[in-house]
Structure 1
Amino acid sequence: MQIFVDIWPIAIATIQFAAMLGAAGHAMLTKSDVRSAAGWVGFILLVPFLGWLIYLLFGVNRIQRRARELRGLPRGITLPLPKPSTGELPSIESEERFELENLARFGQKMLAEPFEAGNTIDILENGDEAYPAMIAAIDAATRSVALSTYIFNNDKAGHLFLDALSRAHKRGVRLRILIDGVGSWYSHPSIIPELRKRNINYARFLHSFMPWQMPYLNMRNHQKILVVDGICGFTGGMNISEGNIILSRPKKPIRDIHFRVNGPVVTQLMRTFAYEWTFTTGEILDGADWFPEIIEANATHGIVARALPAGPDQGMNPIRWTMLAALTEAHESIRIVTPYFLPDSTLTAVLSVAAMRGVKVDIVLPATNNLPFVDWAATPQLAWLIDAGCHIWKTSGPFVHSKLMTIDGIWSMVGSANWDGRSLRLNFELNLECYDGAFAKRLDHLIDKKITVANPVTRQTISARSLPIRLRDAAIRLASPYL
């Protein structure tokens, strides 16, 4: 007994010392930000026992590892993937002031998806334009319908799609419907029993209420993809919800923009859907029903585009890095529309540098946000961007859920990703990268219309907030990587 009494303090001290050194070593080896590494090492060394324990709980980034484990990547990939780039750059006619060739070369190194010429992209405003076009495409389907959405509400809009899918099912069209596991519960009751009742082939992405699955609730499939017969595609930021049907005067209106896509890039949309479907269900989608040969929709004046799928299983998020590359290439204008604006320090710095070197930076945000705490967390850094010369606008009227970005009126990016850590670090997203002056100018026209009904955010209005409000915003900002 006396031996135990004499030994246990030594044993505890040894465990503490080993754990402390191990945690400190892990922080130094894995933290790319030297300030983060130094902060964690100091905390581990100066706070006995609790320091290394808190680091193990909150300091170790498990997101990428968990995502790769979920994907089964260590066991090898059996899904059809894009062929490596041949090194040929897209044929893009543009003014020399914007280094599109450099950006395109960067893009080929970032992601294997090739640039595809000869595409057409139609802009569809709100559910009033998007839903009829999408339902008409489903009604015209003869082979297949692949639909991926974050939210599929059991409401007026949801039943429009439900009825169209039922009609397609009765015609013998192959249906594959993928809904996010969390997003499927945004309406009560859920649409899932209705899909089941009509024998529509559906699946839920990472759906589980088991306690051991709870760590994965952060990884959501936020992609919005509809591909019909493998040749007609739709993508953007729009969910399936009656709030998007503005003309019906919903209680909570949502303004959004979706895109109808025709041309070779539709195959990339389908490939992204097939990847997520196989991961979720184990079924591999292949063959002409899903991947027919697609010719250029407009060989003369088509848009050069490619899909940018991104998720936490990738070491370098292609959407975030493409944003960074495009911002550094901007010479005249950067225009951003997003509902949630919580960029990390690197994106914030690059935006600030662009404004300070003379690029006109317009950032359009909703005045009324459906998630008020996101607006609170965003406010402190708006002051820093304004000081650097950026122009911040807040649109009046209904909540704006659109996600648009243009550079110099030539390059653009649209899709599902927001300017926040959830989209650029945790979610599975899909954007389209487009090289076409005419298309970028159409988006700029939409942005101009939003700015005409927007109010500028000034340094004075931000500084005029009361101390309790400023403390609230600063406190919420600490959680911004997870909002």
Structure 2
Amino acid sequence: MTLDDNVAALVGTAAAVGHVAIAAAVTVHVLLYKRSVGAAVSWIGIAWLSPFLGGLLYAIMGINRVKRRALRLKRQHTPLAAAAPAASVARDSLTPLEYAVGRLTGLPSKPGNIVEMLHSGDEAYPRMLEEIGRAKTTVGLCSYIFRADSAGEKFHEALIAAQQRGVKVRVLIDGVGGGYFWSGTYNRLHQAGVPVARFLHSYFPWRTPFVNLRNHRKLLVIDGRVAFTGGLNIGAENVIAGNPTHPVRDTHFRIEGPVVEQLTDAFADDWQFTTGEQLDDDWFPTLEPVGTVMARVVPSGPDEDMEQIEFVALHAISCARESIRVVTPYFLPGEPLTMALGLAAMRGINVDILLPENSNHVILDWARQVPLQPLIQAGCRVWLLPAPFDHSKLMTIDDSWSFIGSANWDTRSFRLNFELNVELHDAAFARQIGAATTPQRRMTVADIDGVSLPIRLRNSAARLLQPYL
């Protein structure tokens, strides 16, 4: 055997040993930390069947490095009041839901709020800009997408003006949704001296904690007294009157009252997580009741708030006695939610699922056909909304409880993204939510069964990407 042969044999042996060591390490970590059996089996298979590449993919996309840091920050943060069943909530079928969400989030329901529904950027942007212009002490803005276009520039100017008149302004943009390689908004605000940060962003892969995590929250808090939240990003495509090339219809909400403290607290946690700066007492004024709506914030993310929004949806479905209404741009939930909706329909609950006829993610449109088929067979009514693409995220139960915010009904929102929803106990507002989106064409089993075999295979293959879509 020649020297070259010996070297080749040595390299081959070292590579084999390295592969086994890496795959074994991945296997141990998966067994200890992955709760989902499907995800665990997938990652173990990838690690063993894809030498080195499987281990690298797991290191980049499979390990949650955020959780420990988030927990450290949680211990440093002054907790809100302990949750307890609100005495002012009438005893009815949703009382167990009130108690369960309190136990789940550790947050109390806050009575005395005003919640106003706003349609797309046409209604929401002027109100948001007006509040920024009136701000006296603080402005905190978090957005998944914040474009430097005709709509975004108005926010740039308002935020810069607020900073220049002495208001404490903080702006947080997602590191992926806000433009990974280049963010015009970040550059514009940073150059103007506005404190702005990009969530989990780094140009260096080894410094990126988890490239698959994103801050999908949309939140604006003014003086700790007024807040805006919902599904609306900042971009010209959200202003329907501007006739954009790809218009997006959406729903946003203006909130005033005691629950704004919880919304400000959510922003403060995200800001501290990203920058290390703890916001001072100027951000948390004493709030008095101003309305009649009972509300509570439900944060969710791959940290201490893991799957909270998904669990709240499950609790709500189980408490429904008459109706369930879900409006979402993307529908690809896990099996527990799919099964819960189907079982609710089978016990006589009116279950309506409203989806855009065509979203802006064609693979998700393909994949959603698979879970929709058994739901329709179980008696759920699936309605398709025509263009423009509806990006709203809404849920109501029995026309008395509502769930609004940033979370889509898919695995990414429920388990990977940092999301923010608000639950509302108010019958009048729930009816308003129900009337906001009108069902159009109803999907039938024939619509799904009538497709060709290649299309069915395509849809089923797309669903395999569920954990990553």
Structure 1-normalised TM-score? 0.87
Contact 1:340 1:420 in 2 (8 A): yes
Task: Determine helix, strand or coil for the equivalent of 1:438.
Answer: helix
**2:453 corresponds to which of 467, 473, 481:** 467
Q: How does 1:272-421 map to 2 (within 5 A)?
A: 272-287=266-281, 289-298=282-291, 302-314=292-304, 316-421=306-411
In the alignment, structure 1 residue 68 sits paired with structure 2 residue 61: no
SS at match of 2:309: helix
Rounded to whole Å, the distance in 2 between the matches of 1:204 and 1:16 is: 35
Residues 389-427 of structure 1 show CA distances to partners (whole Å, capped at 9, x for unaligned) of 111111012010000000000111000001111111111
Residue 246 of structure 2 corresponds to 252
Aligned to 2:167: 173
Which amino acid in structure 2 is aligned with residue 230 of structure 1? G
How far has the Cα of 1:234 moved from its partner? Answer: 0.6
Match of residue 122, structure 1, among 113, 116, 119: 116
1:373 counterpart letter in structure 2: I
Which region of structure 1 is more displaced relative to structure 2, 412-421 or 166-175? 166-175
Deviation digits for residues 70-101 of structure 1 (CA, Å, limit 9, x no counterpart)? 43x3587322332322x34241247x4xx221
Look up the match of 1:235: 229
Q: Distance in 1 between matches of 2:22 and 2:425?
A: 52
Amino acid at match of 2:455: I
Displacement of 1:15 in angstroms is 9.9
- CA distance in 2: counterparts of 1:260 and 1:382, whole angstroms: 33
- 1:135-191 CA-partner distances (Å, limit 9, x unpaired): 110111111111111111011110111111122122211111111111221897622
Describe the superposition over 1:169-217 as per-residue Cα deviations: whole angstroms up to 9, x where unpaired.
Answer: 2221111111111122189762222112322221111111102135612
* In 2: Cα distance, 1:69 partner to 1:390 partner: 40
Check conservation: 1:90, 1:304, Cα contact below 8 A: no
Aligned CA distance change for structure 1 residues 18 and 33 (closer, same or farther; 3 Å) = same
Q: What per-residue deviation string (whole Å, max 9, x for no partner) do you get for residues 340-368 of structure 1?
A: 11100111111111011111111001112
Runs of 5+ consecutive residues of structure 1 not aligned to the other structure = none
- 1:29 Cα deviation after fit: 5.9
Map of 1:439 onto structure 2: 429
Distance 2:155 2:118 in 1: 17
> CA shift at 1:462, angstroms?
0.9
1:208 is the counterpart of 2:198? no
Q: Determine which of 71, 77, 80 is the counterpart of 2:78.
A: 80
Within a 5 Å distance, the mapping from 1:99-118 to structure 2 comes to 99-118=93-112
Question: Following TM superposition, by how much is the alpha carbon of 1:54 offset from its aligned partner in structure 2, in angstroms?
Answer: 8.7
Query: What CA distance in whole angstroms lies between the structure 1 residues aligned with 2:27 and 2:206?
Result: 28
| Alpha-carbon distance change, 143 to 355 in structure 1, aligned in 2, over 3 angstroms | same
Shift of 1:60: 9.3
Partner residue, 1:481: 467
Q: Distance in 2 between matches of 1:285 and 1:70?
A: 18
Q: CA deviation at 1:64?
A: 6.8
- Answering whether residue 420 of structure 2 is matched by residue 423 of structure 1, we say no
Conserved 8 A contact 1:334-1:361: yes
CA distance in structure 2 between the partners assigned to 1:258 and 1:37 by the alignment: 37
* Amino acid across the alignment from 1:294: L
Q: Does 1:92 align with 2:89?
A: yes
Is this contact kept in 1: 2:402–2:425, CA < 8 A?
A: yes
User: Structure 2 vs 1, CA of residues 472 and 394 (structure 1 numbering), >3 Å: closer, same or farther?
Assistant: same
Q: Which residue of 2 aligns with 1:266?
A: 260
1:57 CA drift (Å) = 6.4
CA contact (8 A) 2:299 2:305 kept: no
| Cα distance in structure 2, aligned partners of 1:248 and 1:15 | 58
Contact 2:201 2:208 in 1 (8 A): no
Say whether residues 1:160 and 2:154 are aligned partners.
yes
**Aligned amino acid, residue 77 of structure 1:** R
Q: What residue number does 1:458 align with? A: 444
Equivalences for residues 2-81 of structure 1 within 5 A:
32=35, 50=49, 65-71=64-70, 73-74=71-72, 77-81=75-79
**Counterparts of 2:451 and 2:238 in 1: how far apart (Å)?**
32
How far the C-alpha of 1:306 sits from its partner, in A, is: 0.6
Whole-Å Cα distance in 1 between the matches of residues 195 and 14 of structure 2?
58
Deviates more, 1:54-63 or 1:180-189: 54-63
Separation in structure 2 between the aligned mates of residue 475 and residue 167 of structure 1, nearest angstrom:
50
- Whether contact under 8 Å (1:80, 1:271) holds in the other structure is no
Q: Percent identity?
A: 44
State the distance in 2 between where 1:312 and 1:319 align. 12
* 2:77 counterpart letter in structure 1: L
> Which region of structure 1 is more displaced relative to structure 2, 50-59 or 114-123?
50-59
Indicate how the Cα distance of structure 1 residues 170 and 349 shifts in structure 2: closer, same or farther if over 3 A, else same: same
Asked if the contact 1:63/1:312 (under 8 Å) is kept, the reply is no
Task: Check conservation: 2:186, 2:197, Cα contact below 8 A.
Answer: no
TM-superposed deviation, 1:248: 1.3
Could you say if the C-alpha distance between residues 291 and 25 of structure 1 is closer, same or farther in structure 2, counting changes exceeding 3 Å? closer
Offset, 1:380: 1.3
